[in-house]
Amino acid sequence: MTTTRATEPAPGAFVFNPFEIAVCDPTGRIGEDLALELARFVSFDMHAGIVARPLAASGRSTSAHIARLVTTTEQYVLAVPRVLAGDGLFAAMADLDLVFVVEDSPDSPRPAIVLLGDAPPPPTSGPVVAYVGERKACPILPPDAPYFALDQIALLAQRLIEYLKGLARGVPLYGLVLAGGEAKRMGSEKALVEYDGQPQLTRAVNLLRGCCSRVAVSMRPDQDFAVAGHDAGPIRDRFLGFGPMGGVLSAMIAHPGAAWLVLACDMPLVDKQLLGQLLQERNPFRTATVFLGADDAPEPLCGIYEPKTFRLLFAHMAQGRSSLRSALEAPSVKKIHAADTSLLQSVDTPEGYARVSGTLKSSRGTSPE
């Protein structure tokens, strides 16, 4: 059976999490139990939550923290792992890698695990991850259908994990060069600063183009410069006064279904090998994957931001908080140690430029690699 790949959805295409799996149980008898069992089995790989209307009345709070969750049109209850329960509802939701949505309808637009009885399975509008029933075999399904008996929960969980990995691989990865800083300390437009005759904006664009399907440049509304050798389109900052956070959020609004590899234009020492490490250690189910800097704090200007980062950053912005580094302290963010933290330095003064320019000339010449 061919794995369904994610495509870039319209804004708001998911309700609770980019990785939502429906558990369709028309009988209303075992859907919640199945979701809880699956959440336990995948807990070694990811944090899974469960959303369902009748869950609070089911008496199953011994294995999960129960909280009420209200959307604009429906009232649900949310079950999250106890390890996340002490952080509050929003923090727990942000830290979830996967959400099971228990539905009493046999049909769902979400990827679905469909519980079967004796009747033939109804048509579904979304992709079917697996069918589940009480019998060892299901004669009403084609022989190659992904069917599992209720006592094959481990095999079902493995099927689910592989399916989710396929979805994650289908999320487009775009590159974003941050070039909207005011450059007060540098005294001139940082994007136009040259190393060995090449503007560092061009260098950053070319570096990201080697690992991203599309590259854009984050710019202030008042910026208007063209740099020879780069043809990345601009994304104008919609949130003035919020620094790099505003630039990242503006890109996410422009392309809400994409993950973003973000690189500041004034980090000329970042090379292909360092980005390769970031890509290798990326966890697409986390909110973001970023390096830890020399001070052991998250480095926000060279990292991968997954689609669900939008909610975390927007919540910080709504509270008047503009620090991207502070937002990345969240436990839902994967932090990794760079092979060489000295490559992560930002160059924002003439003195820093002179020092780094000499380093680049002596060690790498004009190559961005």
Among 111, 68, 64, which residue's Cα sits nearest to residue 89?
A: 68
User: What is the pLDDT of the chain when averaged over all its residues?
Assistant: 79
Give me the mean pLDDT over the 296-319 stretch: 91
Question: Over 80: is that where the pLDDT of 316 sits?
Answer: yes
Domain ranges of the chain: 20-169, 173-363
94-133 confidence digits (pLDDT tens): 678 888 988 887 778 889 999 987 777 667 778 899 999 9
pTM: 0.79
Dist CA 143 CA 54 (whole Å): 34
> Could you report how far apart the first and last alpha carbons of the chain are, in Å?
40
User: Of the candidates 284, 274, 253, 285, which has an alpha carbon nearest to the alpha carbon of residue 176?
Assistant: 253
What is the share, in percent, of the chain residues with pLDDT greater than 90?
33
Query: Which of 138-142, 185-189, 242-246 is modeled with the greatest confidence?
Result: 242-246
The Cα–Cα gap between 104 and 107 comes to 9
Which has more confidence, 55 or 301?
Answer: 301
Please tell me which residue, 231 or 83, carries the higher pLDDT value. Answer: 231
H-assigned helices in the chain: 31-41, 82-85, 89-95, 153-170, 200-209, 243-254, 272-281, 309-318, 324-327, 350-363
Q: What is the percentage of the chain residues whose pLDDT exceeds 70?
A: 74
Least confident of 178-192, 238-252, 290-304, 332-346: 178-192
For residue 149, pLDDT beyond 50? yes
Residue 78's pLDDT is 62
Is 3.40.50.720 the CATH number for 20-169?
A: no
Contact status, residue 109 vs residue 125, Cβ threshold 8 Å: yes
Closest CA to 274 of 203, 339, 347, 202: 339
| Fold match flag (20-169 vs 173-363) | no
Which of 265, 96, 125, 258 shows the shortest CA–CA distance to 194?
Answer: 265
Q: Stretch 235-263: mean pLDDT, rounded?
A: 92
Q: Give residue 320's region: left, alpha or beta (phi > 0; psi -120 to 50).
A: left
| CA–CA distance, 312 with 122 (Å, rounded to integer) | 37
Answer whether CATH 3.90.550.10 is correct for domain 173-363: yes
Q: Which two tokens stand for residue 265?
A: 């234009």
Q: Which residues are within 8 A (CB) of 19 and not within 5 positions of it... i.e. 6 or more apart?
A: 97, 98, 99, 164, 167, 168, 285
pLDDT single digits (tens) 270-289: 999 999 999 999 999 989 99
For residue 51, what pLDDT is reported?
83
Give the model's pLDDT for residue 1: 29
**pLDDT of the residue at 268:** 87
Identify the weakest region by mean pLDDT among 82-91, 116-125, 238-247, 330-339.
Answer: 82-91
CA 315 to CA 249: how far, in whole Å?
Answer: 11
Integer Cα distance of 241 and 125 in angstroms: 43
pLDDT score, position 10: 39
Tokens of 154: 């481990």
| Residue 160 · residue 168 · CB < 8 Å | no
- Which DSSP state fits 198? E
Contacts of 292 (CB under 8 A, 6+ apart): 298, 299, 335, 336, 337, 338, 341
